[in-house]
Amino acid sequence: MPPHLQFNPYIFTGYRPLLTFWGCINSLFYIHNETINILTHGIPIVYMVLNFPSAIPWKDLDSWFLPWCHIVGAICPWVGSFVYHLFMNFEGGESFYYRLLQLDMFGIWMSQSFGALPMVSASVFCLPWACRCLVMLSYCLLSVWGLYKALTAWSPWERRLCFSMPFIMRIFLCGLRYTSLGGGDPNMFHHIILQDAVSAVGGAIGAMHIPEKWFPGTVDLYLNSHNIMHVLVVTAVYSMHRATVSDLVWMAQADCRHHEKRASLLDSLGQKAEL
Ligand SMILES: [Zn+2]
């Protein structure tokens, strides 16, 4: 293997040699150490293309922009990852490999930026207008910063950390949703937690090379850390889908009056306290 493809020191066998374009396509039809990675993100593409947009309850929604952000955000990571894993051993060499890696990162970025917009917008739905604008603008700016970092990162740790700022902001929004000020469908709170927690666990498993670090050379074809991470991020996007669809319906029917009532109650209590 050329040095740029020797990124996991605990995987000894199953590597494909450097191949032509058609050689890479042909590698879909035999088993090698990228087969599970290709299938775990290739099958979701087929599933989603067949099921979107009918999986969105369009008649219950009052906008098209946020649902489409969700559709794009839910499909892009699998497209980037599928192409990256299928063509990583293309004979184009190291510079081609890094272009593919950028494509993979771009797919993840699409789901973390556009894909997260419905969740961000539902979380602050009942806040004052200026507050909503400030949160949305900050999230967009942090996402653009993350994109710049993702596309210029050279080490695997740098690549993982470039999504940290939007991630931290989503944790704050989660906290906001838990209070009476936050919006979004309260029945989907567990999916809101799971969508980020499960992918963070997947990222950590991938970074630590578990379990191949403990059994080098025995999980080359399946059950290695990258395979486990791939399956976990698919379940994370399932949670994101469930939460987002519920949030979109919630926003179309939302009644923020109880938030206003609470705010005015707090005001009047404050006035009484002053008196
Ligand atoms: Zn991957």
| Residue 14 neighbours by CB under 8 Å, 6+ apart | 31, 32, 33, 220, 221
Q: For 175-219, write each residue's pLDDT tens digit.
A: 999 998 999 999 999 999 999 999 999 999 999 999 999 999 999
Residue 117 token pair:
């917009």
- Looking at residue 152, what is its pLDDT? 86
Q: How far is CA 79 from CA 85, 101, 193, 266, in A?
A: 10, 12, 25, 49
Q: Which amino acid is at 78?
A: W
pLDDT-derived band at 1, boundaries 50, 70, 90: confident
Q: Calculate what percentage of the chain has a pLDDT beyond 90.
A: 82
Residue 125 token pair:
């739905």
- For domain 23-270, the CATH architecture is Up-down Bundle (1.20)
Q: For 17-38, write each residue's pLDDT tens digit.
A: 999 999 999 999 999 999 999 9
- Looking at residue 58, what is its pLDDT? 92
Q: Which of 164, 113, 168 minimizes the C-alpha distance to 140?
A: 113
Torsion of CA 195, 198, 204, 207, to 10 degrees: -80
Fill in the DSSP letter of residue 90. Answer: B
Instruction: Output the CA 233–ligand 1 centroid distance in Å.
Output: 10
Is 209 annotated among the ligand-binding residues?
no
Instruction: Output the CA 134–ligand 1 centroid distance in Å.
Output: 34
Q: For 77-103, write each residue's pLDDT tens digit.
A: 999 999 999 999 999 999 999 999 999
Is 4 annotated among the ligand-binding residues?
no
Instruction: Output the CA 231–ligand 1 centroid distance in Å.
Output: 10
Instruction: Output the CA 170–ligand 1 centroid distance in Å.
Output: 23
- Looking at residue 259, what is its pLDDT? 61
Instruction: Output the CA 254–ligand 1 centroid distance in Å.
Output: 38
Q: Per mean pLDDT, which of 55-64, 86-95, 151-160 is the most reliable? A: 86-95
Q: Calculate what percentage of the chain has a pLDDT beyond 70.
A: 93
Domain residue extents for the chain: 23-270
